[in-house]
Amino acid sequence: MRLTMRRSVRADQSRAFDTVVAEDVLPKVLHRFLLIPSVIGTEGNTGPWDVPGSRRRVLFSDGTSAREEVREWVENTRFAYRVDQFDAVLGRLVTHATGEWDFTGAPGGSAFNWTYTFHARHWLLSPLVHLFTHTLWRGYMSRCADRCARLAEAGPEGGA
């Protein structure tokens, strides 16, 4: 089940990329949405965050976590990752998810596409994963994409 969010950003491509891929960005942009908890932090980085293969645990406000791994890093252009080992109910529905961020220049700044794909644990679970993706996750992603754009536009002095 795949969703893509596109946003225009009034900041250059480099600034937008650096904002989204920053190691500390998740708690700033992934806030609670209905049943989906906030991200409160990360722990256990296995290497520099700009190196494919580096992993960390993403910690959620409900006490659960998931593992995230960098899959691709092309400076100012593309960032891709895999999320798996979900502690919560989601782990019973999906084996993993993949995220891809693609950045381009655009008039007045830049733009990004964020694509998230969930992989159902079994084809029989696909309808539930589809329902989750196209209801709850769509709202969560949309708000996160908006926060990422605002954070990039605020610049280093803008804070969270």
Sign of CA dihedral 13, 18, 21, 24: negative
- Cα Rg of the chain, angstroms: 15
For the cut 50, the answer to whether the pLDDT of residue 59 exceeds it is yes
Number of domains, the chain: 1
pLDDT of residue 88: 81
Domain region containing 20: 2-158
For residue range 105-149, what is the model confidence (pLDDT) as tens digits? 999 999 999 999 999 999 999 999 999 999 999 999 999 999 999
pLDDT of residue 40: 97
| The model's pTM | 0.91
Q: Average the pLDDT over 3-27 and give the result.
A: 96
**CATH code for the domain in which residue 126 is found:** 3.30.530.20
For the cut 90, the answer to whether the pLDDT of residue 155 exceeds it is no
For residue 69, name the pLDDT band (cuts at 50, 70, 90): very high
Q: Give me the chain's average pLDDT, please.
A: 94
pLDDT of residue 89: 85
Report which DSSP code applies to 18: H
Residue 65, CA atoms < 13 Å, CB-side half-sphere: 12
